[in-house]
């Protein structure tokens, strides 16, 4: 009989969430680097370079790779011969570990979890509670996988109850284009097939914790239906041409995982979950001898890459006019310097409500750019913690009001905009740019100063003014309404292959 002490379990969970905030798994780095080497689309290659460089910087600096440090998930497999030296529940033990990790003084992580999700949506401040899955298994050890899943990729989770003879490949190829770039590809798609709806979801979530090993499957050949499906989907999803950050390119997925379970004769439940550029999970085993020891990867695991901004247009944000931005072209790379406002969901909601009531806004947006971001708190000499872009389409509903009523001329975020937002951008002669999702620490290095201008009570969702120097972005929607997330994937889909794309 093994005894697991409370303090060892809590310490292990806390250490694990800190560890995954700044260390990518080595298999992800290797696989992304291979995709980078193969990539023929310059825009996608540049995005992958930023993710790889960001990853190395995070590993060296022990700061989060992404500003969205995720919702905490734990899969705990408890041996049936294990005894616990604690009066707390397993949920409470995991939560205590999460609390310690997310409020760590040296590397505070962003608390993103809100209680009362369909009501007041109040931040719990320490990212608890975690989502804990427990299984009793034979043995005398406790086997734990922790993961931190970002909202952008979780929001793109898909589920369907297919008919028994429906094609899973057709279904996947119909839904992946609708996911756009919000899940920050390239990453992993994980499928759970069979069981019941909740079982399919759990199979998919479990599967994404496996190492990336598609190359091994290619080398030895598929032996089961699941393995055939992995290969077929890997090839066909990449042939969609979505590419890194949805800019168009050869690599949308680095691996496809498929796990199945027997199901009812009348059913074929299927879940599809993406894992993003911030792939964060680690596995440890407790045997009663003390807390887990997590082995850091070697810095040699990261390629040594340098960014090339030679062809980028330098932009002075403090002297911009609508006429200036009108000449920028979709796909063009920029380096922004000067004063950049920030704001995301809560600030936009409040601003548009104030506009509707005819109130004066606390910030003058005339000829300004706004960055959709919710940064991690700063430590030591940082102006701001990791501060990558958040999903812009959540701001689509506010965009026309902001462009029509405030004098705003530009936005920076991640992934594509919807048709109404694109039309509004065109109508008002504004622009929308993207920074690379999953390159938050790299982006934060171009932010030299930060101060809160309004809505301080919103915390990381307040309106800040950043002073930026050479912040790399790409024009995603230009003032003529041309959108790189439409043209890029279409171009690369045509170049890659001839497979028909089924639309949902
Ligand atoms: S990489 Fe993208 S989807 Fe993943 S956590 Fe970061 S912002 Fe969210």
The answer to whether 346 and 324 have CB atoms below 8 angstroms apart is no
Tell me what pLDDT residue 32 has: 97
414 - beta bridge partners? Answer: 391
> Which residues have a Cβ under 8 Å from the Cβ of 120 and sit 6 or more positions away?
none
- Residues 248-277 have a mean pLDDT of 97
Q: What is the pTM of this model?
A: 0.94
Ligand 1 binding pocket includes 194 (Cβ within 6 Å): no
Ligand 1 atom at minimal distance to the Cα of residue 390: 7
Tell which atom from ligand 1 comes closest to the C-alpha of 388: 7
Q: How many helices (H) and strands (E) does the chain have?
A: 15, 19
pLDDT digits (tens, 9 = 90+) for 5-62: 999 999 999 999 999 999 999 999 999 999 999 999 999 999 999 999 999 999 999 9
Q: How many residues does the chain have?
A: 504
* DSSP classification of residue 389: B
HSE at residue 219, side-chain half, CA atoms within 13 A, is 4
438 touches ligand 1 (CB under 6 Å) = yes
Over residues 100-113, the pLDDT tens digits come to: 999 999 999 999 99
Tally the C-alpha atoms within 13 A of residue 321's C-alpha that lie toward its C-beta. 2
- The answer to whether 432 and 476 have CB atoms below 8 angstroms apart is yes
Share of the chain above pLDDT 90, in %: 96
Q: Let me know if 182 is exposed, middle or buried by CB neighbors in 10 A (0-12, 13-18, 19+).
A: buried
Judging by DSSP bridges, how do beta strands 463-477 and 431-434 pair with one another? antiparallel
Can you tell me the distance from the alpha carbon of 473 to that of 340, in angstroms, rounded to the nearest whole number?
Answer: 13
Q: Coil, helix or strand for 177?
A: helix
Peptide linkage before 186 cis (omega within 30 of 0): yes
Atom of ligand 1 nearest to the CA of 183: 3
pLDDT of residue 307: 87
Mean pLDDT of 198-214: 97
Cβ count near 83 (within 10 Å): 12
Q: Return the pLDDT at 500.
A: 53
Q: How far is CA 388 from CA 42, 51, 149, 451, in A?
A: 21, 11, 15, 17
Task: Dump the DSSP string for 15-48.
Answer: HHHHHHHH---HHHHHHHHHHHHH---HHHHHHH
Are residues 440 and 388 in contact, defined by beta-carbon separation less than 8 angstroms? yes
User: pLDDT (tens digit, 9 = 90+) per residue, 287-308?
Assistant: 999 999 999 999 999 999 998 8
| Pocket residue to mutate for ligand 1, from 277, 394, 414, most atoms within 8 A of Cβ | 277
């Amino acid at each position: 009989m093994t005894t697991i002490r409370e303090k060892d379990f809590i310490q292990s969970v806390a250490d694990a969430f800190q560890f995954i905030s700044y260390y990518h798994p080595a298999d992800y780095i290797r696989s992304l680097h291979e995709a980078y080497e193969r990539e023929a689309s310059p825009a996608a290659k540049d995005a992958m370079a930023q993710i790889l460089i960001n990853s190395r910087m995070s590993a060296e600096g022990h700061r989060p790779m992404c500003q969205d440090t995720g919702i905490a998930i734990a899969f705990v497999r408890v041996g049936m011969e294990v005894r616990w030296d604690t009066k707390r529940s397993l949920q409470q033990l995991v939560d205590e570990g999460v609390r310690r990790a997310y409020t760590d003084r040296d590397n505070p992580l962003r608390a993103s979890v809100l209680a009362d999700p369909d009501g007041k949506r109040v931040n719990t401040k320490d990212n608890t509670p975690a989502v804990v899955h427990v299984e009793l298994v034979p043995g005398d050890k406790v086997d734990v996988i922790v993961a931190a899943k970002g909202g952008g990729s979780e929001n793109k989770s898909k589920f369907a109850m297919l008919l028994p003879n429906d094609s899973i490949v057709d279904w996947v190829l119909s839904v992946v284009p609708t996911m756009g770039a919000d899940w920050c590809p390239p990453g992993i798609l994980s499928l759970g097939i069979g069981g019941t709806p909740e079982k399919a979801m759990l199979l998919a979530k479990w599967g994404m914790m496996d190492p990336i090993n598609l190359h091994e499957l290619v080398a030895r050949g598929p032996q089961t239906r699941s393995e055939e499906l992995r290969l077929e989907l890997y090839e066909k999803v990449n042939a969609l041409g979505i590419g890194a950050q949805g800019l168009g390119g050869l690599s949308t997925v680095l691996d496809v995982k498929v796990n199945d379970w027997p199901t009812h004769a009348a059913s074929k439940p299927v879940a599809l979950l993406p894992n993003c550029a911030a792939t964060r999970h680690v596995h440890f085993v407790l045997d009663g001898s003390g807390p887990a020891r997590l082995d850091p990867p070697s810095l040699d695991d990261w390629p040594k890459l340098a960014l090339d901004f030679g062809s980028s247009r330098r932009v002075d944000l403090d002297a911009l006019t609508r006429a200036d931005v009108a000449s920028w072209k979709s796909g063009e790379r920029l380096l922004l310097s000067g004063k950049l406002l920030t704001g995301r969901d809560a600030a936009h909601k409040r601003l548009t409500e104030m506009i509707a009531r005819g109130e004066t806004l606390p910030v003058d947006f005339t000829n300004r750019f706004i960055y959709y971001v919710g940064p991690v708190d700063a430590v030591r000499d940082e102006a701001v913690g990791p501060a990558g872009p958040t999903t812009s389409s959540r701001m689509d509903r506010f965009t026309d009001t902001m462009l029509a009523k405030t004098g705003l001329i530009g936005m920076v975020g991640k992934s594509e905009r919807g048709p109404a937002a694109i039309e509004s951008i065109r109508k008002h002669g504004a622009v929308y740019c993207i920074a690379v999702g999953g390159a938050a620490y790299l982006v934060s290095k171009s932010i030299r100063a930060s101060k809160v201008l309004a809505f301080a009570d919103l915390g990381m969702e307040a309106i800040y003014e950043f002073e930026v120097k050479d912040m790399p972005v790409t024009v995603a929607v230009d003032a003529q309404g041309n959108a790189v997330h439409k043209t890029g994937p279409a171009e690369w889909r045509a170049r890659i292959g001839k497979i028909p794309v089924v639309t949902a």
